[in-house]
Amino acid sequence: MRHAVSSLFAASLAALVLAAPAQADDATFNLTLKDHRFDPQSIEVPAGKKVKLLIKNLDSAAEEFDSDDLHREKVIPAGHEGVVIIGPLKAGTYKFQGEYNPKTASGTIVVK
């Protein structure tokens, strides 16, 4: 009996460990900044869950990810990447922009 419980526990633990990377990958959304524009300009994320935005700045100048709607700011140096954690959020549309180039670097996060 004790061996069966140990085996069941080990199998359950292994399943959790193997499932964890897939869940982490599902919660990451990529944004690229190039020519002072975000790509994609709109990202759809799930409601009620924390998600990670991985922002890669391919420009030769720093940019600041800025969102009054999300209450987030993050300076991303030229040629580097930064992470912004958002959520959990209610369904809706949330705007963001590049603080240094707001006319061209802008986008939305659509939460469904």
In a domain, 71, yes or no: yes
- 81: CATH: 2.60.40.420
Residue range(s) defining the domain that contains residue 71: 27-111
Rg (CA), the chain: 19
In a domain, 44, yes or no: yes
Count of structural domains, the chain? 1
In a domain, 7, yes or no: no
In a domain, 16, yes or no: no
18-47 pLDDT per residue, tens: 444 444 446 999 999 999 999 999 999 999
51-93 pLDDT per residue, tens: 999 999 999 999 999 999 999 999 999 999 999 999 999 999 9
- Candidates 41, 89, 50, 55; CA nearest to 69 is 89
Q: Taking the alpha carbons of 47, 52, 56, 61 in that order, is the dihedral positive or negative? A: positive
In a domain, 96, yes or no: yes
The predicted model scores a pTM of: 0.76
